[in-house]
Amino acid sequence: MSSVPVTTWSLEQTSPADLLPAAAPDGDVRIVRAEVPSPEFSRFLYASVGGDIRWTDRLGWSYARWQEYLERPGVETWVAYDRGTPAGFVELDPQDEGVVEIAYFGLIPAFRGRRIGGHLLAYGTARAWDLAERWPGRTPTKRVWLHTCSKDGDFAMDNYQRRGFKLFDTKVELEPDTPTPGPWPGAYPA
């Protein structure tokens, strides 16, 4: 199997004041926390958002592995709905010492380019900053970070920087050149 170079950029905010808002999109877009851990729903979001950009690291997870991850205290999934249809999600993964990672963020391809992404990212980042308010006993958030890579969408880095994230690390590694899995074969036109 051949390999391709993949650049990964890590970005962070170190204060809630770093967060820059985004305009709300037109129409009936709502963001709701998925409060019931659901491996089926989380895998649907993961595969639907990441299928065309080669998100593959969780495709082999068992139901039990998904459940274990989602039941960790503080893990949150916030879902954007456009007129009642899931459009994308933000997954928050709290770590030690007041750090929260935006583990996954993105939109289902049919909803990209509608100004939902900036709004969802700003909302999800705000929820990372106030995560301890919903989880008694957690250390208040001191840092929110995420990573993006050269496989992600064309506007990902720009969106993160427009929301106030600052670059703190860059790595280039060879990765296997895997085919685009899609949520299922032929689901999204190339």
Q: Which CATH number fits domain 3-176: 3.40.605.10, 3.40.50.970, 3.90.550.10, 3.40.630.30?
A: 3.40.630.30
Residue 190 has pLDDT above 60, yes or no: no
pTM attached to this predicted model: 0.92
Angle at 110 between CA 104 and CA 112, to 5 degrees: 60
pLDDT at 182: 65
Of 26-35, 47-56, 106-115, the range with the lowest mean pLDDT is 47-56
pLDDT digits (tens, 9 = 90+) for 77-113: 999 999 999 999 999 999 999 999 999 999 999 999 8
Residue 89 and residue 79 in contact, taking contact as beta carbons nearer than 8 Å: yes
pLDDT at 185: 55
